[in-house]
Amino acid sequence: MKYIDLKNIDINEENFNNQDLEFAGNIIRSGGLVLFPTETVYGLGANGLDASAVKKIYLAKGRSSDNPLILHVSDMDMLDKIATNISNIEHKLIDAFWPGPFTIILNRTLVVPDIVTAGLDTVGIRMPSNKIANKLISYAGVPIAAPSANVSGKPSGTNIDDIFSELSDKVDCIIDGGSSEVGLESTVVRVVDNIPTILRPGKITPEDIRRVIGCVKIDEHIFSKISSDEKVLSPGMKYRHYAPNSKCVLVYSENSSLLVNKILELSNKYSNPLILATTENISSYTNKNLLTINIGHKDNLDEIAQNIFTALRQVDKLNPDIVFIEGVKQEGLGLAIMNRLIRACEYNYISL
């Protein structure tokens, strides 16, 4: 396994040595696995046009074969090879949000293997804004199929330290680009009857899409379970995800005092509870000698998004009886944060 450290490298510099990324691109093109950074979370990548290579992703993650993957492209020429019949509205969304943390579900061409799409006629595609990811795809010369870099069910990886032990022996190359800028997976959208429908919320919010198209819908399954026999168009909709080993309960109220008092009341029933708390409220728990993890300032949703997966991974190291998590308002980026937390808590949710 080759480790490439690009954490403190400015890849925009003229004298940047591209040989490492060329090496990693060759691994992708030759059917290997590369763990690489994007602006959202780290990806576990393989040649998206090579069914045998893509199968290695499913094996490495322990991922169900009916959970489709996203293809990552570096330019519009690459998009044209894997997608067809792109509508005007779909083009408007692509123009507005690419490159960036935005995935769009499009009709696929025959060059995309069934294993990528879980047998569907559509495929999720995005163009990363992260320069390392974009250059890697360009050097590979093929779309890179890449789900989040983690064992299925566990929180996604936003830095190498969090995921090295569980994936280092399953990949051919690791590219360390430092911490992810966004911290949550991309927004996934499918245009249905000329209306963009959010299948998975992310950094690109409903408000952002509405400003471009004028309308947007949110899929009903974002905060509800999907039956085991139902097909899904997007990753992150169906299976247990983002979850620590300990039972988690998500608690939300617009009233901070009510929220804190409820968590304190619930915590009294356990000998070793853990609270994932906002900066503003954390002293209310530490004053009671309760174990806490700070997830960030409640009014800074970007900070919470960047911290939440690392915080969920810290839970297993502390091995609490139960975890109580302070929720946020389901608006803007808060929609994506709450989507991930509700799934991490396996729908154990208290709204006050």
Phi, psi angles (nearest 5°) of residue 296: 120, 175
Residues of the chain with pLDDT under 70: 13-17, 225-241
Buried (b) or exposed (e) across 171-203, using 16+ Cβ within 10 A? bbbbbbbebbbbbbbbbbbbbeeeebbbbbbbb
CATH number for the segment(s) 248-351: 3.40.50.11030
Q: Write out the H or E segment, with its range, that includes residue 140.
A: helix 131-140
Q: Where along the chain do its domains lie?
A: 2-223, 248-351
pLDDT of residue 240: 55
Specify the CATH number of the domain 2-223.
Answer: 3.90.870.10
pLDDT of residue 64: 85
Strands (E) in the chain, as ranges, are: 2-5, 34-36, 43-47, 70-72, 83-84, 102-108, 122-126, 144-145, 173-176, 187-192, 195-200, 217-218, 248-252, 273-278, 291-296, 322-326, 349-351
CA distance 288 to 340: 28
Distance of alpha carbon 145 from alpha carbon 94, whole angstroms: 19
Task: Give the pLDDT of residue 238.
Answer: 47
User: What pTM does this model have?
Assistant: 0.92
Q: Are 82 and 125 in contact (CB under 8 A)?
A: yes
Q: How many Å apart are CA 249 and CA 347, to the nearest integer?
A: 8
| C-alpha to C-alpha distance for 249 and 17, rounded to whole angstroms | 47
Q: Tell me: cis bond preceding 196? Omega within 30 of 0 counts.
A: no
Of the CA atoms within 13 Å of residue 199, those in its CB half-sphere come to 21
Burial class (CB in 10 A: 0-12, 13-18, 19+), 88: exposed
- Report pLDDT for 95: 98
* Closest C-alpha among 153, 147, 101 to residue 313: 153
pLDDT at 39: 97
Q: Same topology for domains 2-223 and 248-351, yes or no?
A: no
